[in-house]
Structure 1
Amino acid sequence: MTVSPSSPSSPSQPPSLLAVFAHPDDESLVAGGVLAQHAAAGARTAVVTATWAPDSHRAAELADALRILGAGKPRMPGYADARVPESAPGRARFCDAPLDEAVARLVRHLREVRPDVVVTHDAYGGLSGHPDHVHTHRVTLLAVQAAGLEHRYPDAGEPWQPGALYLATHPHSGVAELGGLMTRVGKSALSVPDEWVSATVDVRPWLEQKWSAILAHRSEVARERPLPGILSRLSAEARRRILATEYYTRLEVAPTRRGLERLTA
């Protein structure tokens, strides 16, 4: 199942995709399968990563992961991680940066890539609820709307309106095993009602690529509490069960009806 926009570029062309995530490794963990799927089908794919400096060790790891996934070169505004200020020396933490500035930077990427589909964190900030994940969700929603408006950020390029926005998420029914692993190391495991999931994507054909991309984030694999490290200590079968399915909630971002005379649900 391919994540699709309202109006792809052409009937035979798979939708182009821009993923917007908070940290290096988020792209591989929650959307690595979909990124590899779209790239294999010939779609343009790209990733914006909000935190860590472009000259940091994690940026180098991100470059390796994106090469494996076929998602181009890193696009990094260079803000600091909320919990690791040394991740971008001299720069504001992403969650402290002026909102309009952060939105403008992302609008520029949206107008450069011109994706049919945008993928980002859900309103919880994914399972962990990390503050950078939550803020990335907020900034992405604002930027996707603003990117199509000609009078918003006119210096950021020609307007472009993506056809759909998908939020990477986990349903209550699909989080039990992974949630248990996370709570064991003191992390939360936030999930949404099953009916909120719009797309359930079987990424088993791209699972080897996805796992290789996760392993490219070597510094996180070497640590005990981050998810790459947790996954690396599991059996191959347990990892397959956890990583083989990706879940998304779709939000409509473009006007879909005209002529209404009152608000309807």
Structure 2
Amino acid sequence: MARFVHLTSAGDAPRIRRAGIRAVSHGQGGLRGVYCFPVLPSYTLTHQWLRELARSGSRGGLVAVHLRLDDGEPVLVGRYTDRAREAQAAVTAAEAVRRVAALDDPRGWEVFLPRAVRPGEIHRVRRAPQVVGWRHWPDAHGTRPCTCLGCRVRGEYGGRRLRERHPHPLDGPPPPPRELLARLAGAGDPGDPVVLREVLHWFARRRRGPLPALARLTDHPDPTVREELVWAVAGWSTPGVAELLDRLADDPVGEVREAVEAVRE
């Protein structure tokens, strides 16, 4: 039997003991399942994901759920950065343990079980220390963390002090709409992608916006501009947003279509 550890909120422990672990996480290819990590001789490496998972919040801290899976159980194994490239390997549970154990540096690696975990496969649930592991990424220590709106975690310990010491250039109140529209017009036709993406970033911080002025960007030749347009208007209450997203839902570039699906979910 291959042994793994799944880290989760302590508030879920009673339900997990009773009914197992639900397949709520998403892996590559849209699969639903459970993330876990092999039990290695090193306690620190086995529980390396603790501090990073704790950043997103948990009810009562985190617990370690120990699993026992059949050696032939199909799983995906790879580094967390392989998910976006769909480069994680489909192997058996025993092979996943062997691959991770043979690595010189297994930090950032993970195993994905593409199904729920049954109660009989749970060996034990125990409290785990909350100070083990890395944060942000495995080699982040000594590197200034990013304080942009997308990277920071709301309510994170020391977050306000960090933002005061290292403010991000794209933080702060957005420029007024007339200034943004002037930048949009000054970007040219079809428009400088760098300037347009910055303008769209600021428009995304608003609840409503000049949709007719941005609608022409649905035909911009740079797909990154079209994708940024999706995120910019997704939260607007302006009439016509749904129709604009309908146009972008048929975009020839997959990243743009995926952005539309993400905001609609």
Q: What TM-score comes out, normalization by structure 1 length?
A: 0.21
Q: What TM-score comes out, normalization by structure 2 length?
A: 0.21
The structure whose residues are more often strand, as a share, is 2
Larger radius of gyration: 2
